Amino acid sequence: MSLAKRVFELQQVEFSIQGHIKQLEEMDLRIRHNDQFEQAEASLKTAESERAGIEKQYKELDAEAEAPRAQIRQITDKLYSGKIKNPKELVSYEQEAGLLKASLAKKDDVLLDMMEKLESGKVGIKKLKEVYKTALGAWESEKTELKVLVDEVKKELSELEKKRGELLSSIDRDTLAAYEGLKGRKGQVVVKVEQGRCLGCRVALSVNELQRARGNAIVTCGNCGRILYLS
């Protein structure tokens, strides 16, 4: 195997290693986060929080309404007890009862509206819980599959690292230094030569460059500086 081919294969192995690492990172992210589940969870929590808030307001308002209810009962008892004989006093109690009932009616309207919202919220929460459960189940299933795939990718990555080590040990220091130096400036360091052209910059190579590329020495493109590999 020529030196250029070994460097080319090293580059391909390193590209593959980078791809495997990126794949592992993406799978790890999918294992830790799931948009559908997180959206379902957030919607459920929001709905539960809103319903809890309405329920608290309902209890507070209902407690406030208990005082006028008690007053109305007391006045009604007095009015029908037959103990009050004074007409003015009767009228006064009736007026007071009327004002209390009017005030209580407003509270009861609000309480009724809250009750309807609580019932509606209960139905909505039940549906959201079903969505949440479905999303969680789908995510758990996906995580199981991903964990199996992660193990496979890690195994492939280990084999690639081993192959990379073998290739590194077969390439001399000067060539590796040139290769590493180019990596910092160019995405693809080693490029193939096809139909007499450097595939890195598409420029036609000279006869001398082509002849040298056919040998075992490392030859770089006179235009883009990349290492040439003639298969």
pTM for this structure? 0.74
CA distance 57 to 115: 11
CA angle 101, 106, 108 (to 5 degrees): 85
pLDDT band per the 50, 70, 90 thresholds, residue 185: confident
- Contact between 186 and 225 under an 8 Å Cβ cutoff? The reply is yes
pLDDT band per the 50, 70, 90 thresholds, residue 79: confident
Residue 148 corresponds to which tokens in the numbers above? 């199996």
How are beta strands 197-198 and 227-229 bridged, if at all? unpaired
How are beta strands 197-198 and 190-194 bridged, if at all? antiparallel
**E strands, 46-111, where?**
none
pLDDT, mean of residues 159-177: 96
Contacts of 157 (CB under 8 A, 6+ apart): 17, 20, 21, 24
